[in-house]
Structure 1
Amino acid sequence: MTHNFDLVIIGGGILGTSISYFLSFLNKTKEIAIIEQAPNVAFHTSGRNTGKVHAPYLYNPEKKKMFAKTSFNGYEMWEEYSKLKNLPFKKDGIIEVAFDEKGHKVLEKYLKWGKQNGLQDNDIKLMEKNELKKIEPEIKCESALYVYKDGSTDYSKLTNAVIKDSTDNGIKLLTNTKVTQIKKIKNKWKIMLDNEHEIFANYIINAAGGESIDIAHKMGIAKKFTDVHFRGEYWKAPKEYSDLTKTSVYSVPEYPDYPFLDPHWIIRVDGSCEIGPNAVPVFSPYGYNKVENIKEFIPKLLDMLNSGARKAIFDKQFQELAINEIQSSMSKSKMINRVRRFLPKIDVEKITEKGTAGIRSSVINEKGQFVPDVILEEDTMSFHILNYNSPGATGALPFSAHVVNHLNKQGLFQSESSDAQCGPWRFSKIIEKMAS
C-alpha cells in the first residue's frame, strides 16, 4: 500500500475523529486519512470513560481558559448532535461534596469559576448539608455544589457517529493500522504502517492520545516532555443501588496538583451505577493487564529516568500517593470506602463486579511537574495535540473546530470553504463562540 495524502490524522479517538469531521466538510477535494491502530474508533480512552459531559466549573478561567471555553460550548454541541443522531444524552447534573471548611472553600472557588466561565445562577448552586439532605437524603457531607448543567452520554456511540459522517464525506479510515515509523523526506512525511506498508503525507495532525508524546518524539517534537500512564478502574454497583442518589457524586480532590482522583459515585446514561476511577501507575497507554505492563516496564522506566519524570517519581508525596492507588487496586474495600465516606449506605460485600478500566496519560515537563493544560506544538508540516485530558471528550467538537481554524489562519492546511455548514452548525458560528 503506497498512497499520497494531503493530510494524515494519527489517532481515532474522539479528538481525531472530531477533527476529521470538520475537515471533511471544509475540504471536499483534498485526500485525508485517519489512522487508528485498534480495530475501531474510540477503542481506548474515548470509549472507556464515565460518559460525563462536564460543565466548566472545575477550570480556572485564566489558567484553563481553552478547556473552560470548549467545555461550555461542547455541552450544547453534543446535546444537539445527540438529538440529531438519536443517541443517548441526559441532562442529569452532578453534586460535588466537601467534608470540611477547606473543602467548602474549594466549592466556593468552583462556584466563582463556573459563573466566570458562563454558567448561570440556575445552572449551579452552593448549598449546606441540610438543604442537600432534602434532595439527596443518602449523601453525607458538610456542604455541596450542585451543578445542574452537567450531562451524561455514551462517547463511544458519539465517536462512531462522528467518524461515519467523516467517511461519508470522503475521509479514509485505516483501522488495525499502527504507525511504526515517521520520516521527513524532502517536503513530505513518509509514514511506515505495521512495519511493512508506507504512505506519504504533506501534513500530519497528531491526535494519538496516550501515544501522542511517542508520536511527537518520533517526529523530533516536544522532546522536553514525557508522559506517565494511570489506569482508572471501576466497580459496578448492583441494581439495588440504582436509586441511591438521583445524580452522580464527586468529592473535592485532596491533591489537585496530581492526577489522582478520589473515586466518584457515577450514574451512567443507561442508569447503571459505578464507583471509580482510581489512578494506578502503569507502564503503557494500553496497560490494562500484567502482560502489557511487564513488556513495557524496562523501556518506560528508562524513558522516565532520563526525563523530567525522574523528579516526579522520586518525589516522596508522589510515591505515597502512587502506593495508595496501587493499594486501592488490590483492595476492593479500600477503594469503595472512599465513596462510603459520602454514601455510607453502600455495603462493600454487595459490590462484586468490576467495570471497564481506562487509561489516562499525563504529561510531565522537564522540571518534573505535571502539566495541567493541553499542549499544542507545531512546525511547518505537523500539528501535535498533547496532554488532551478531561474534559477532553466534552470539548472535542469545539476544540477540533478551533484547531482546524488555526490551521486555516496559519495557511498550513488551507480549507476550501472556511464557512461551510458542518452538520447542524455553521463553522464560522462555532469559531465566533470560541472567540467570545
Structure 2
Amino acid sequence: MKSTNYDVIIIGGGITGTSLAYVLSNFTNIKKIALLEKYSQLSQVNSQRNNNSQTLHFGDIETNYSLEKAAKVKEAAEMVAKYITTIGKNEKLYHKTHKMVLAVGAEEIAQLEQRYEEFKQLFPKFKKIGRKEIAILEPNIVKDRDDRENILALCTEDGYAVDYGKLSESFVSHATGSFNLFLNTKINKLNKTKNGYEIATNNGLFEASVVVVCAGSHSLIFAQSLGYGKDFGLLPVAGSFYTSSKALNGKVYTLQIKKLPFAAIHGDPDVAQPEQTRFGPTAKVLPLLERHRYNTISDFLKTSAFTLGGVLSLLKIVSDPIIFRYLIRNLMYDLPFIGKLFFLQEVKKIIPSMKASQIHLEKKIGGIRPQIVDTTKRQMNMGEAKIVGDNIIFNITPSPGASVCLKNAENDTRKVIAFFNENYSFDKYSFNEKKFDKMFR
C-alpha cells in the first residue's frame, strides 16, 4: 500500500471531493493529497447522473434565487462551463442546449415579467419569448394548449446538460502531482490527534494534517462524531423522475414556489439518452442518507434529527401549511396506478397533450438531497451547509450542489492553505486563468 501519511485527505469521491482534488493538486504546492471513496467507483451517490437534475445552474431560470444569489451562482457555474468546454471538451461530459422558464397564466406571467426586468442586466442573453417563438423551440408546449391560456418564457441558448459523474472522473484524471485515489475504502472512525487526524478504514489506517469531508449527508455524522454541528439535523428529501419518449428539445423549468427549497417540476432530455425526456423531481421525505440503500437508515438515526430539538424542529417544518400540502401531494405521485394521474397534471402544465400512458415512474432514477435543519431555531437552513473546524472542513450540501463545485473547491483550498499557516501556497493567478469571468453572459 502507498504511504498512509498525507498532508490533506479528502473523504468522498463525488463532485465536491473530486473538484477539490483537482484544484489542490493543480494549483497548490501541497505535496501529499489523497481521496478516500467507499465505493468501487467515483460518484455513486448524488453525483451519479441518474440521481440529479443534470443541469448546470446559473441562477437565470431558477426563479427562487434572489439577484444576489444568482450573481454568485453565475460566477461559480461559469467556472464549470469553462472546464467542460476546454479541458474536458473531448470527454463527452455535457450537451449544449437551450433552456427556458415557462410561465402559464396571468399571475405567473406578471411574476416572470418582473423577474426579467430585475435580471436582464445580469443575464443579457436572456430573451423574453411568447407563444410563437416558444412553438418554434418547443412545439409540444403549444400543441393542444387552449388559445385563451396565455404563456410566456424567458429563454437562453446557453444551457448545459452535464453528466456530473463523468465530470468527477474527469477531475480525478486531470489531478496531478502526488495525488492518490483509494476506492473501496470505507471510513470506520475519524479521530483528532496531536498532529492532525487519524482515519481508520477497512483498508488500514490513514493520517493527515488536514481533512476535508465531502461525503454529503454523511459529512454531518462525521462532524457530530467530533463534536461539531450538534445543533444540526437532516431532513432527507428524495427526488424521483417520470420519463417519456422524446417530448422536449431542451430544458423547460416552471416557476418555483418561493417558500420551498425543493426544485420546481421541469422537463428535459436525459444527458445520456436524449431520446428520453425526464420530468421531475418529485419530493418526499425518506429516513435514508442514500437513495435505495436501506442500510443508511441507521446512519440517519445517528443525526441530531432524533434529539428532542430535532423532532420538534421536523414537526414544526412539516406542519407549515405550504410545505405540508406540498409533501402530501408529492407522496401521491409515487403511488401505484393513480400516482401518474396526479403527476400528469404537473406535466400537462408543460406539455398539454401528454397522456398518462406516455409517462412512467422510474424506480431507479433520483437521489436524496439533505436539507439541513437548525434544531435551535427549528427551521430549515436554506443553501450551503459547511462546517469549518480545527484543520477540518465538512461539506454537507453545497448549494446548488454540482454547479458550484469549482467555486466551492476554490474556497476550501483557501481555507486549507490557511490551516497550514501559509507554509503552502495557492497559485491564484493560474487558477484565475482557468475562469471565464463574465464571458458567457
Instruction: Tell me the TM-score normalised to structure 2 length.
Output: 0.84
Q: Distance in 2 between matches of 1:320 and 1:299?
A: 28
Tell me whether 393-402 or 38-47 shows the greater mean CA deviation: 393-402
Kindly indicate whether residue 183 of structure 2 is the aligned counterpart of residue 175 of structure 1.
Answer: yes
> Are the aligned partners of 1:8 and 1:32 in contact in 2 as well (CA < 8 Å)?
yes
Corresponding pairs, count: 416
Tell me whether 403-412 or 258-267 shows the greater mean CA deviation: 403-412
Q: Deviations along 1:137-172, whole A, 9 cap, x unmatched? A: 321562111132111121111111111222x53312
> Are the aligned partners of 2:104 and 2:349 in contact in 1 as well (CA < 8 Å)?
no
2:250 to 223, 247, 251: 247
Kindly indicate whether residue 210 of structure 2 is the aligned counterpart of residue 210 of structure 1.
Answer: no
Kindly indicate whether residue 347 of structure 2 is the aligned counterpart of residue 339 of structure 1.
Answer: yes
- Give the residue type in structure 2 aligned to 1:395: V
Shift of the 393–116 alpha-carbon distance from structure 1 to 2, 3 Å rule, reads farther
Unmatched tracts of structure 2, length 5 or more? 143-149
- Give the residue type in structure 2 aligned to 1:108: E
Shift of the 284–328 alpha-carbon distance from structure 1 to 2, 3 Å rule, reads same
Secondary structure at 1:147's aligned position in 2?
strand
2:27 corresponds in structure 1 to 26
- Give the residue type in structure 1 aligned to 2:233: T
Q: Distance in 2 between matches of 1:210 and 1:18?
A: 18
Q: Distance in 2 between matches of 1:430 and 1:112?
A: 31
Tell me whether 303-312 or 168-177 shows the greater mean CA deviation: 303-312
Secondary structure at 2:109's aligned position in 1?
helix
Kindly indicate whether residue 265 of structure 2 is the aligned counterpart of residue 274 of structure 1.
Answer: no
Tell me whether 8-17 or 392-401 shows the greater mean CA deviation: 392-401
Alignment of 1:327-406 (within 5 A): 327-330=332-335, 331-352=339-360, 354=362, 356-365=365-374, 366-390=376-400, 392-406=401-415
Q: CA deviation at 1:12?
A: 0.8
Unmatched tracts of structure 1, length 5 or more? 421-425
2:145 corresponds in structure 1 to none
Could you say what the CA RMSD is over the residues aligned between the two structures, in angstroms? Answer: 2.9
> Are the aligned partners of 1:265 and 1:273 in contact in 2 as well (CA < 8 Å)?
yes
Kindly indicate whether residue 45 of structure 2 is the aligned counterpart of residue 61 of structure 1.
Answer: no
Kindly indicate whether residue 165 of structure 2 is the aligned counterpart of residue 156 of structure 1.
Answer: yes
- Give the residue type in structure 2 aligned to 1:66: K
Q: CA deviation at 1:129?
A: 3.0
1:415 corresponds in structure 2 to 424
Shift of the 147–335 alpha-carbon distance from structure 1 to 2, 3 Å rule, reads same
2:146 corresponds in structure 1 to none
Q: CA deviation at 1:112?
A: 4.6
Q: Deviations along 1:69-102, whole A, 9 cap, x unmatched? A: 212333233222331x432432212121112333
Shift of the 112–169 alpha-carbon distance from structure 1 to 2, 3 Å rule, reads farther
Secondary structure at 2:141's aligned position in 1?
coil
Secondary structure at 2:380's aligned position in 1?
coil
Kindly indicate whether residue 199 of structure 2 is the aligned counterpart of residue 191 of structure 1.
Answer: yes
> Are the aligned partners of 1:231 and 1:288 in contact in 2 as well (CA < 8 Å)?
no
Q: Distance in 2 between matches of 1:409 and 1:188?
A: 14
Q: Distance in 1 between matches of 2:181 and 2:72?
A: 28
Kindly indicate whether residue 147 of structure 2 is the aligned counterpart of residue 142 of structure 1.
Answer: no
- Give the residue type in structure 2 aligned to 1:137: P
Q: Deviations along 1:41-94, whole A, 9 cap, x unmatched? A: 1111111223222233133232465333212333233222331x4324322121
Tell me whether 36-45 or 365-374 shows the greater mean CA deviation: 365-374
Identity across the alignment (%): 21
Q: Distance in 1 between matches of 2:333 and 2:303?
A: 23
1:222 corresponds in structure 2 to 229
Q: CA deviation at 1:326?
A: 1.4
Secondary structure at 1:67's aligned position in 2?
helix
> Are the aligned partners of 1:64 and 1:373 in contact in 2 as well (CA < 8 Å)?
no
